[in-house]
Structure 1
Amino acid sequence: MEQNPNQPLNIEISEEIAEGSYANLAIITHSNAEFVVDFVNVMPGTPKSKVKSRVILTPMHAKRFMKALVENVERYEAANGTIADMLPVEIPMNFGGPT
């Protein structure tokens, strides 16, 4: 079935997904076939954090996502001022698969 490029895309979102989930850390890994973005909520004083959401993208879509994010940050800063850069944070590399 061929789609008309001028027809708007009809996207549905469930209430659960629309609520979103908070993340203050993103861990990005890649292979030759895909990019994996794990979103984590790290709470101070807790010894362990869990991945709250994982998004897997093709390299082409990862690049499109990067460009869209850059454009949106630039628009945000134009309207609200520069976002202060954070100091570099060392991420513990004991991150593994599902437990």
Structure 2
Amino acid sequence: MEDKKQPDQQINVELSEEIAEGIYSNLAMIAHSNSEFVIDFIRLMPGVPKAKVKSRIIVTPDHAKRLLAALKDNIEKYEASFGKINAGGSAPTFPISFGTPGEA
């Protein structure tokens, strides 16, 4: 039986101006069921006891595993270029304020 390879298909990805701006997140929470992974991207502000979910992404288990591999690959490339990322060992901590009064 002859092995016929499908030609690579090109995918056109549309990126709107609003989405291209991105959303800052400094915390992620992940949950899963037997059929999906739910990743909530959260913005935690210093001195504010309440955090807001800024984006929720839902993916299949297969896609979650591919995402993990892609992140691992990109982190390795980043560290090769810019040095090791110090992940610390605990959740991020923030100062009570952003600086001295009147500082921009």
Q: Which runs of 4+ in 1 moved over 3 A?
A: none
Give ranges in structure 2 of 5+ residues lacking alignment. Answer: 1-5, 93-104
Taking structure 1 as reference, are residues 88 and 5 closer, same or farther at Cα in structure 2, changes over 3 Å only?
farther
Partner of 2:13: 11
Give ranges in structure 1 of 5+ residues lacking alignment. Answer: 91-99
- One-letter amino acid of the counterpart of residue 52, structure 1: K
Give the TM-score, by structure 1 length: 0.83
Partner of 1:71: 73
1:53 Cα deviation from its structure 2 partner = 0.5
Q: Quick one: distance in 1 between partners of 2:46 and 2:53?
A: 15
Give the TM-score, by structure 2 length: 0.79
Rg bigger for which structure? Answer: 2
Percent identity (aligned): 57
Q: RMSD of the TM alignment (CA)?
A: 1.4
Between the two structures, name the one with larger relative contact order (CA 8 Å, sep ≥ 6): 2
